[in-house]
Amino acid sequence: MRRPTILVTGAAGQVGFELARLLAAHGDVVAADRARLDLGNPDAVVGAVRGAKPGLIVNAGAYTAVDLAEKEAEKAAAINARAPGILAEEAKRIGAALVHYSTDYVFDGNRTTPYPEDAPTAPLNVYGATKLGGERAIAAVGGAAIVFRTSWVYGRRGKNFLLTIERLAAERDELRIVADQVGVPNWCRVLAEATARVVGGGIPALAERAGLYHLSSTGTASWYEFARAIVGDAAKPRVMPITTAEYPLPARRPAYGVLATSRFEAAFGFALPLWEDALARCRSEPADLLPG
Ligand SMILES: NC(=O)c1ccc[n+]([C@@H]2O[C@H](COP(=O)([O-])OP(=O)(O)OC[C@H]3O[C@@H](n4cnc5c(N)ncnc54)[C@H](OP(=O)(O)O)[C@@H]3O)[C@@H](O)[C@H]2O)c1
């Protein structure tokens, strides 16, 4: 069988970087970072798909600056809502499959038990609203598309909570971390590995399972608990719990964003590791194997 071409957008991002590497086992990867494909430019999106003629598009590019999005709603909407719709249309036109990522921030966080895929959405911020727009645009096209909602992505590169806490831990005696927002930290490599495993089952099998899935490690944590796990047993810094009200940010965040993953597990036959185990694995990576 011919190896498919796999177009990966956002290929310099946390998830995109890992995907571009891991998906090479399953096809010829066209790794398009923002310089190569600006998702905010509809003509460029169409041109990239028509140029690459992929059998699979994996859209890891996104406008992920949650607070800045409050001021850049139009830009965020172009990248997070309109581009996924164009990718879905172009994929359908050429019989390609699409894998896309969304977020727990489509929910308002008022639940206290894990969100199933069909729970009502009600984003609290612009980022969440634009990501919901992307989900809807893909669903409206109705092609062979899989949408994975995930949460709290971190890794050894880019901007994320793990790297921020590691930096602050070296600088400060005390860290004050929000304890009243609960979710699940997800290592970008685990998300990419899960995607690669799904893709490895073949594009027809993937197309048969088109739909919306929650893809997340298991367990739960507050940001405070996540920070404590990062700092570990070190005497310094002290990690102190605070409330969201004590750490105001431009964008509101859901208080609870745990995603129920049973639909994914039933469809694809495996679960992601506990978040603590994924974090330990991430942090045990030898430095010379770290990308970026
Ligand atoms: N990060 C999280 O906590 C989180 C949580 C839930 C869901 N997700 C979703 O998971 C997916 C992967 O996110 P991630 O954590 O890997 O995010 P990320 O590290 O911020 O990567 C996103 C990539 O998209 C790129 N990008 C931004 N604007 C673009 C544009 N106009 N054209 C092309 N590329 C553009 C970014 O480039 P620049 O760096 O140059 O801007 C970045 O390389 C996204 O769909 C995201 O919404 C993320």
195-223 pLDDT per residue, tens: 999 999 999 999 999 999 999 999 999 99
DSSP string, 116-139: PTTSPP--SSHHHHHHHHHHHHHH
CB 185 within 8 A of CB 11: no
**Ligand 1: residues whose CB is within 6 Å?**
10, 12-16, 34, 37-40, 60-64, 79, 101, 103, 131, 150-153, 158, 188
Helices (H), 143-239: 161-171, 188-200, 203-208, 223-231
How far apart are the C-alpha atoms of 72 and 65, rounded to whole Å? Answer: 10
How far is the centre of ligand 1, averaged over its atoms, from the C-alpha of 2 (Å)?
30
- Per-residue pLDDT band for 289 (boundaries 50, 70, 90) equals low
Q: Show the 3-state SS of 1-63.
A: CCCCEEEEECCCCHHHHHHHHHHHHCCEEEEECCCCCCCCCHHHHHHHHHHHCCCEEEECCCC
Q: What is the predicted pLDDT for the residue at 2?
A: 76
Backbone torsions φ then ψ of 129, nearest 5 degrees: -65, -40
Q: What is the predicted pLDDT for the residue at 173?
A: 92
Q: What is the mean pLDDT of residues 76-89?
A: 98
CB 196 within 8 A of CB 19: yes
How far is the centre of ligand 1, averaged over its atoms, from the C-alpha of 173 (Å)?
31
- Per-residue pLDDT band for 288 (boundaries 50, 70, 90) equals low
Report pLDDT digits (tens) over 220-278: 999 999 999 999 988 789 999 999 999 999 999 999 999 999 999 999 999 999 999 99
Q: What is the predicted pLDDT for the residue at 234?
A: 80
Structure tokens at 172: 């400060």
Q: Is 127 a catalytic residue?
A: yes
User: Does the pLDDT at position 291 exceed 90?
Assistant: no
Q: Cis check for the bond before 250: say yes or no (omega within 30 of 0).
A: no
Q: What is the pTM of this model?
A: 0.96
How far is the centre of ligand 1, averaged over its atoms, from the C-alpha of 12 (Å)?
9
How far is the centre of ligand 1, averaged over its atoms, from the C-alpha of 4 (Å)?
24
Q: Of all protein residues, whose CA lies closest to atom 41 belonging to ligand 1? A: 63
Considering 63, 127, 213, 256, which one is annotated as catalytic?
127
Report pLDDT digits (tens) over 156-186: 998 999 999 999 999 999 999 999 999 999 9
Q: Of all protein residues, whose CA lies closest to atom 2 belonging to ligand 1? A: 153
